[in-house]
Copies of this chain bind each other. A is one copy, B any other.
Amino acid sequence: MQNFIFWNPTKIIFGKGMIAEIGAHAAQHGKKALLVYGKASIKTNGIYDQVVGSLRQAGVGVVEFSGVKSNPILSHVNEGIALAKREQVDMVIAVGGGSVIDESKAIAAGVKTDGDIWECFLGRKEPQGALPVLTVLTIAATGSEMNFIAVLTNDATQQKFNLRSPHLFPKVSILDPTATYSVPKTYTAYGAVDAISHLIEGYFTSADPDTPIQDRYVEGLIKSIMESAERILANPENYEGRATMMWAATLALNGLPAAGIGATAFPNHLIGHSLGALYDLPHGATLSIVIPAWMRYAANLNPAKFAQFARRVFHLTAGGSDTEIAEKGVNALKVWFRKIGSPVSLSEVNIPESELRRIAEHTQPLAQKWQIAQQYTADVVAGILQDCK
């Protein structure tokens, strides 16, 4: 195990009926909230009314800010920062999925940080603080509700970059599984892929061979995510399936699976972020395309770990070398992505082979920021993309 610091102060309020608690928690942080959301869907499924009703009862005023995109963009964040300053709100309340929470974090930090908040995403400076962020989660996927990460796309430069800062931990996140009943099957599948991707990036890229606690955490969470995705796709209002998916996706990126495994890389996100920024594809869809190809590439470098994954997650215990079993595990995951309806090839999302070089080149600034440009050159990325056709 490697040395680490683990600290995660977000309070999770989990379960049926818990959205009604938002007002009481918000009231501890002030009198006026910027209420951030995406589309009108939270008005049709009743979540908006639950949130606003609870806030009103607790005496917390609301300034609405909607229109967050699936891939949240800097220009909209800047509008939110200006509005939050003008209205002198005390906190930001995100009602939505990872996109809405990420944008809310960026707005909250932007209010307390001088100058252009994008400078922080570029790694050129640190946020000086942030307004308190509270969240009401409506999609299980990114884990943003219990971590200090925000991902944002600069719509002027088409860069999709992330920011990590202890100021960004939500104070309180309310996770009511029934709030995800109306998430369509496609986005349920993308959420499952996203949560699995968060787990396997660290699991496979850690160089430490002696992390039994973390390995078993990850394997157990992946199995629970896969089981619950199938329950949900069979019946979108299966409470236990929705609850397991929601909590597993939160735990997948709350710092715990990564604590003690040392330096890791996010190569699937590297390529996925470029696909998302260039073609505005859903994040989970980009990942299910990239992951099987990346795994085939990486399994050659560390067949033992990929074979462990195949044995423990897919119970592929038949004879064969680690390399053979690893390959079977990769295929099993790809088959499962296809089964739940997430794309596994670029052709399914209409990206022709002629684009591969452009995508590969586009990954390089982020690869440099993440300090993996030496391993993930444009040529290596292009090779992986070739395998995604």
Residues of A within 8 A of B (CB): 1-18, 177, 210, 212-213, 216-217, 219-221, 223-224, 227-228, 240, 243-244, 247-248, 251, 256, 259-260
Contacts and interface: CB of A to CB of B under 8 A. Distances in A.
Given A3-B18, A12-B7, A259-B14, A221 B210 contact: no
A5 B11 contact: yes
B3 A240 contact: no
A260 B240 contact: no
A14 B6 contact: yes
A9 B260 CA distance: 18
A220 B217 contact: yes
Contact of A13 (B5, B227, B243): B5
Contacts of A3: 14-18
Contacts of A212: 223-224, 227-228, 244
20 contacts: A1-B14, A1-B15, A1-B177, A1-B240, A1-B243, A3-B15, A4-B12, A5-B12, A6-B11, A8-B8, A12-B259, A212-B223, A212-B224, A213-B224, A213-B248, A213-B251, A216-B219, A220-B220, A243-B260, A256-B256
A181 to B, nearest CB: 15
Contacts of A243: 1, 260
A329 B44 CA distance: 51
B223 A1 contact: no
A251 to B, nearest CB: 7
Contacts of A210: 240, 244
Contacts of A217: 217, 220
B6 A12 contact: yes
Contact of A213 (B9, B216, B244): B244
B227 A220 contact: no
A177 B259 CA distance: 15
Contact of A1 (B7, B18, B244): B244
Contacts of A2: 15
Nearest to A177: B1
Contacts of A221: 213, 216
Contact of A4 (B1, B10, B14): B14
A53 to B, nearest CB: 20
Q: Which residue, A6, A8, A10, A260, has most C-beta atoms of chain B within 10 A? A: A6
Contacts of A8: 8
Contacts of A1: 14-15, 177, 240, 243-244, 247
Contacts of A256: 256
Contacts of A213: 220-221, 224, 244, 247-248, 251
A227 B221 CA distance: 21
Given A11-B5, A210-B240, A223 B227 contact: no
A167 to B, nearest CB: 15
A241 to B, nearest CB: 9
Contacts of A6: 11-12, 14
B260 A14 contact: yes
Nearest to A7: B11
A4 B259 CA distance: 24
A223 B212 CA distance: 9
B5 A14 contact: yes
A216 B244 CA distance: 12
A9 B12 contact: no
A262 to B, nearest CB: 10
Given A4-B15, A220-B220, 4 more contacts: A1-B240, A212-B228, A216-B220, A256-B256
A1 B18 CA distance: 14
Contacts of A7: 9-12
